[in-house]
Structure 1
């Protein structure tokens, strides 16, 4: 009995010692985790203070608003650009984000509290939210092309976690307008004469102001014609060039450190689209081309330009008023049927895409107006472009296949765009892929709980991240139009309207209603 009692006593003592040792180790680990948390706060606040100082220096050091900033090529003039406050501010923010994830990864290895999957996922999601907030702050503070970068990034759930796409989707390309004196000098420089010799009236307050240009109402001297004057900011070309070089350097450096993280498609897309938006002379030509193409339609209005006053930095066009397309209450108050407006929008854009092959690729609500009729007014043609016949025919086959539920034909059409889709790719992945092409999900919270768009790249292949910019541009436009349609009338079948035009191009019989 004594041996049994001793054995029991030894067992109890061993258990008590194990509990004491565990408690001591837990306290030690807890202390280390507290220290780690304090270190993270110091790290984060240090980066934030450095970034805030650099951002303030960048704003104070911007060139005079009436001057031109020479383009800076980071790849060619690395040393001078490193000391640019704007580049340093952007680089500091990027380093802050990278080190926060690197520190989290190290904590996950050393601290048992983070070893549990649920705890680690919760910590990681909080880190994503913080990182997304920092990215939003940087874009809003520095502005320019970084706003457009954030807007585009918000449509790429294959590249970024849902917290980023949701947060960045709130970015609006609106900025405080530049002072009238700055705009007056810019217009006079482009026209080569005093403002009062060109315009009998020129509103001092801007109608709209965005990251590249702002618009004023005016009246031409002599004819008295009311016009809208779009003026590009004098320094914006140089800032955009510097931003793109900085983003490319940051994304390439990150890819070397973390090969699975590939953000270069964001800068590649901007490198293709921003020059289109910067060249206002090209925009004026695109407007005239589309206006002539649609001249047989009485229900679509494209402002007429004043060619002799249009330059690379200035567009003068007729002023065309109208109601904002997604203001349902205003439309109804004006006696306009939202359902008819929804049909008109889809019909007009399908007509552009599949019949004319000249397409307004930036149809967000601020660029669309509605007049009595209804008539659709198309504004802001920085991303209006001509499309190749082969590309349009591929899009037509894609739309027809989606309308008919023919997923074999859909796979074939997607392959023609250069995507790595095979015969074994399942339907779910195909639909997720189309969600990426068309700008991701409209309801990020719901998307995060139903499908993981970020996993599409892994299942389809790295090629999804290298989607052709032209395909993304058109897909994003279609996604915007779908969102407007559902705001106006959720019963309008946009796919059926667009499918009729696509069917005509692919050789189907005309099934349009009489």
Structure 2
């Protein structure tokens, strides 16, 4: 059986070879510069080769390694221009493509999940995979009972072992992997993946979340959630719904298509916590599409968080204070909620200035999310010599807000990839109106 490359030594060797490859290319590039090579041309070639190696290995290994690569893909828009093109091309490949699992493995897994006669459930089953992902792949089929087209997602054999191995190794290597992805923080990303990957291994959990989402968005004019037909621990069957992938719109969409996709994505992200008390926690372009009728198609519910109180009230109120310029109230709330480190010497006006660019999209009727805008924010807080970086070191992100922060930033990253004009203030006001309303009278 040809499953995920899962021998720990083999996977570790491939991952360990990534920083070694970068070091070797850097040394070779230095030698070429000594002999008169053009600095910019050599730097571009090094970036291209590093990107190609990184995402080729991650895609080949699948499992946690590929999941890590897909998580990085959301933040591609923030990569500095000198690295952007090679990373853009390599990252995009990971959003919807990976080496396919042989049909013998598919048969083995479906026999385990549904019994030897699993084929009798289908009038037709396409043995060529329609899509691949980090821990599974999707086949198109026809459900015999009612003749509807369905998507059959099958987990790769060995996925659990591969996930554990990859994430342990990536955690150990986070510091030396950092140069491969300029402008992104590797260590917290790997830690967060570790926290949530366990729940993605049982497709019955995914099916349950998808059923909940589908019920809340039934007949919605803006969002389509495919219905679940059946599930097992390592396989899930849903109705087949075909849309234009967001990656396609990012690549060559018209201005109208980009803006429409961006508004629909923002609408889904900000509505789900208050409407369904759930958060779709895997935002990358491969999980979204646009249907012919304009609705946003949402796929893959392996990573979902429950939001019993909707969007966290502390975050809503903090944003309100920042928008209103209430630096004192903002500082007091951030301290009480644990966003300011103990003993940090920082002025309330400094925090207000630090957060102002992040609340800018909510300050006007329509905001243009662009690569340049997100690059500017990454440069502003990522330059260790800048005043903003010093302020950032005085701040803290409490664990209970980590997931919603990452998902929101991931959604913003996609909006910037789309280069979309979004009526964000209007969308957020519909679902978190208290952010823009006057304070309730007291006393």
2:277 and 2:309 in contact (8 A); partners too: yes
Shift of the alpha carbon at 1:199? 1.2
If the length of structure 2 is used for normalisation, what is the TM-score?
A: 0.72
| CA distance in structure 2 between the partners assigned to 1:146 and 1:253 by the alignment | 15
1:403 and 1:495 in contact (8 A); partners too: no
1:184 is paired with a residue whose SS is helix
Shift of the alpha carbon at 1:147? 3.6
1:134 aligns with 2:50: yes
Counterparts in 2 of 1:337 and 1:133: CA distance versus 1, 3 Å: closer
2:228 and 2:238 in contact (8 A); partners too: yes
Shift of the alpha carbon at 1:230? 0.9
1:171 is paired with a residue whose SS is helix
Question: Which position in structure 1 is the counterpart of 2:405?
Answer: 472
Shift of the alpha carbon at 1:347? 3.2
Q: Deviations over 1:59-103 (max 9, x none)?
A: xxxxx325895xx8xxxxxxxx5xx122123224335657999x9
2:15 is paired with a residue whose SS is helix
Aligned-residue CA RMSD in angstroms?
4.6
1:385 is paired with a residue whose SS is strand
Shift of the alpha carbon at 1:135? 5.7
1:140 is paired with a residue whose SS is helix
Counterparts in 2 of 1:484 and 1:187: CA distance versus 1, 3 Å: same
1:65 aligns with 2:37: no
Q: Deviations over 1:372-393 (max 9, x none)?
A: 5543322222223212427622
Q: Deviations over 1:353-406 (max 9, x none)?
A: 333321223344433333455433222222232124276222322444455555
Question: Which position in structure 2 is the counterpart of 1:40?
Answer: none
Counterparts in 2 of 1:416 and 1:271: CA distance versus 1, 3 Å: farther
Counterparts in 2 of 1:447 and 1:155: CA distance versus 1, 3 Å: farther
| Greater C-alpha radius of gyration | 1
Shift of the alpha carbon at 1:451? 3.5
1:87 aligns with 2:12: yes
Counterparts in 2 of 1:156 and 1:330: CA distance versus 1, 3 Å: closer
1:432 and 1:453 in contact (8 A); partners too: no
Q: Deviations over 1:163-197 (max 9, x none)?
A: 66775454132213223332232222211123321
- Is there any run of 5+ residues in structure 1 with no aligned partner, and where? 1-63, 73-80, 108-112, 115-121, 256-260, 510-514
1:454 aligns with 2:383: yes
| CA distance in structure 2 between the partners assigned to 1:216 and 1:493 by the alignment | 37
Shift of the alpha carbon at 1:343? 4.5
1:178 is paired with a residue whose SS is coil
Which runs of structure 2 are paired with 1:432-451 in the superposition (5 Å)?
442-443=371-372, 447=376, 451=380
Higher RCO, 1 vs 2 (CA within 8 Å, ≥6 residues apart):
2
Between the two proteins, the alignment pairs up a number of residues equal to 401
Counterparts in 2 of 1:449 and 1:477: CA distance versus 1, 3 Å: closer
| CA distance in structure 2 between the partners assigned to 1:415 and 1:126 by the alignment | 47
| CA distance in structure 1 between the partners assigned to 2:55 and 2:167 by the alignment | 13
From 242, 248, 262, give the equivalent of 1:321.
Answer: 242
Shift of the alpha carbon at 1:502? 1.5
Question: Which position in structure 2 is the counterpart of 1:146?
Answer: 65
| CA distance in structure 1 between the partners assigned to 2:236 and 2:407 by the alignment | 24
Question: Which position in structure 1 is the counterpart of 2:280?
Answer: 360
Question: Which position in structure 1 is the counterpart of 2:149?
Answer: 226
From 331, 347, 352, give the equivalent of 2:267.
Answer: 347
2:318 and 2:334 in contact (8 A); partners too: yes
2:274 and 2:310 in contact (8 A); partners too: no
- Is there any run of 5+ residues in structure 2 with no aligned partner, and where? 179-183, 361-368
Shift of the alpha carbon at 1:211? 2.5
Question: Which position in structure 2 is the counterpart of 1:23?
Answer: none
